[in-house]
Structure 1
Amino acid sequence: MKKFTKLTLATLITVTTAMSFIGCSNNKEVKKDTTTNSASGIKSISTKDLKDKLGNKDWVIVDTRSNDAFNGWKLDAVVRGGHIKGATDFSANWLKVEDKEKDKILEKALKTKNILGDKNVVLCDANGKDTQAVAAYLKQKGIINIYTYDVKQWAADNSLPMESYANYQMLVPPSFVNDLVNGKKPETYTNDKYKIFEVAWGEASKDKDYVKGHIKGAVHINTDEIESAPLWSINSDAALQTFAEKNGLTPDTTIVLYGPDPMASFRIAAIAKYIGVKDVRVLNGGTAAFRNAGYETETISNAKKPVSSFGASVPVNKGYIIDINSAKEILADKASSKLVDIRSWDEYTGKISGYSDLKFMGRPAGSTWGHAGSDANHLQDYRNIDNTMRNKDEILAMWKEQGITPDQRLSFFCGSGWRAAEVLTYADVMGLKNISLYSNGWYEWSSSPKNPIEKGEPKTK
Structure 2
Amino acid sequence: MNKTLKLMITALTLTISMGVFTACGNNSGVKENEEKDVSTKTITTDELSKNIKDENWVVVDTRENDAFNGWKLDGVKRGGHIEGATDFSAAWLDVNAENKEERLEKDLKDRGISKEKNIVLYDANGKDASEVANYLSEKGYENLYTYDVKEWTEDDKNAMKSYENYEMLVPVSWVKDLIDGNKPEGYSGKEFKIFEVSWGEEKDSPDYLKKGHIKGAVHINTDEVEEGPVWNRLSDEKLKAFAKANGITVDTTVVLYGEDTTPAARVATILKYLGVKDVRLINGGTQKWIDAGYELEKESNPKQSVSDFGAEVPVNKDYIIDLDEVKKIYNDKSTTTLVDVRNWDEYIGKISGYDYIKTTGRIEGALWGHAGTKAGMDQYRNIDNTMLNEDQILKMWSDYGITPDKKLVFYCGTGWRAAEALYYADVMGIKDITLYDGGWNEWSGNTGNPANPIEKGEPKK
Same fold (TM over 0.5): yes
The residue that corresponds to 1:7 in the other structure is: none
- Using the TM superposition, give the Cα deviation of residue 255 of structure 1 relative to its aligned residue in structure 2, in angstroms: 0.2
Q: Secondary structure at the match of 1:61?
A: strand
- Using the TM superposition, give the Cα deviation of residue 105 of structure 1 relative to its aligned residue in structure 2, in angstroms: 0.4
Aligned partners of 1:145, 1:395: CA distance in 2, in Å?
28
Q: 1:65 to 1:348 in 2, by over 3 A?
A: same
TM-score by length of 1: 0.92
Which amino acid in the other structure matches residue 458 of structure 1?
A: P
Aligned partners of 2:212, 2:350: CA distance in 1, in Å?
40
TM-score by length of 2: 0.92
The residue that corresponds to 2:35 in the other structure is: 38
- Using the TM superposition, give the Cα deviation of residue 375 of structure 1 relative to its aligned residue in structure 2, in angstroms: 2.5
The residue that corresponds to 2:451 in the other structure is: 450
Which amino acid in the other structure matches residue 36 of structure 1?
A: N
The yes-or-no answer on 1:327 pairing with 2:332 is: no
The residue that corresponds to 2:205 in the other structure is: 207
The residue that corresponds to 1:50 in the other structure is: 48
Q: Which runs of 5+ in 2 are unaligned?
A: 1-19
Which amino acid in the other structure matches residue 37 of structure 1?
A: E
Aligned partners of 1:311, 1:85: CA distance in 2, in Å?
40
Which amino acid in the other structure matches residue 386 of structure 1?
A: D
Q: Percent identity?
A: 57
The residue that corresponds to 1:253 in the other structure is: 252
Q: 1:24 to 1:366 in 2, by over 3 A?
A: farther
Alignment RMSD, CA only?
Answer: 1.5
Aligned partners of 1:113, 1:405: CA distance in 2, in Å?
20
- Using the TM superposition, give the Cα deviation of residue 139 of structure 1 relative to its aligned residue in structure 2, in angstroms: 1.0
The residue that corresponds to 1:244 in the other structure is: 243
Q: Secondary structure at the match of 1:412?
A: strand
Aligned partners of 2:296, 2:278: CA distance in 1, in Å?
24
Aligned partners of 1:37, 1:209: CA distance in 2, in Å?
46
Aligned partners of 1:298, 1:94: CA distance in 2, in Å?
26
Does structure 1 conserve the Cα–Cα contact (< 8 Å) formed by 2:414 and 2:438?
Answer: yes
- Using the TM superposition, give the Cα deviation of residue 343 of structure 1 relative to its aligned residue in structure 2, in angstroms: 0.5
Q: Secondary structure at the match of 1:256?
A: strand
1:430 aligned to which of 428, 435, 455: 428
Tell me which moved more, 187-196 or 274-283. 187-196
Q: Secondary structure at the match of 2:27?
A: helix
1:295-314 correspondence runs (5 A): 295-314=294-313
1:302-451 correspondence runs (5 A): 302-376=301-375, 378-447=376-445, 449-451=450-452
- Using the TM superposition, give the Cα deviation of residue 32 of structure 1 relative to its aligned residue in structure 2, in angstroms: 4.8
Aligned partners of 1:39, 1:73: CA distance in 2, in Å?
27
Does structure 2 conserve the Cα–Cα contact (< 8 Å) formed by 1:342 and 1:371?
Answer: yes
Aligned partners of 2:52, 2:343: CA distance in 1, in Å?
36
1:91-102 correspondence runs (5 A): 91-102=89-100
Does structure 2 conserve the Cα–Cα contact (< 8 Å) formed by 1:245 and 1:307?
Answer: yes
Q: Secondary structure at the match of 2:147?
A: strand
Residue deviations 1:265-319 (CA, integer Å, cap 9, x gap):
1011000000010000000000001111111222221000111121211111000
Q: Which runs of 5+ in 1 are unaligned?
A: 1-22
1:62-81 correspondence runs (5 A): 62-81=60-79
Does structure 1 conserve the Cα–Cα contact (< 8 Å) formed by 2:410 and 2:418?
Answer: yes
Which amino acid in the other structure matches residue 456 of structure 1?
A: G
Aligned partners of 2:387, 2:78: CA distance in 1, in Å?
20
Which amino acid in the other structure matches residue 82 of structure 1?
A: G
Tell me which moved more, 72-81 or 309-318. 309-318
Residue deviations 1:240-284 (CA, integer Å, cap 9, x gap):
111111111100000000000111110110000000100000000
Q: Considering only CA atoms, is the larger Rg found in Structure 1 or Structure 2? A: 2
Higher relative contact order structure (alpha carbons within 8 Å, sequence separation ≥ 6): 1
Q: Secondary structure at the match of 1:122?
A: strand
The residue that corresponds to 1:192 in the other structure is: 190
The residue that corresponds to 1:271 in the other structure is: 270
Residue deviations 1:409-458 (CA, integer Å, cap 9, x gap):
01100001111000001000000010000011001001174311111112
Matched residues, number? 436
Which amino acid in the other structure matches residue 416 of structure 1?
A: T
Q: Secondary structure at the match of 1:422?
A: helix
- Using the TM superposition, give the Cα deviation of residue 124 of structure 1 relative to its aligned residue in structure 2, in angstroms: 0.4
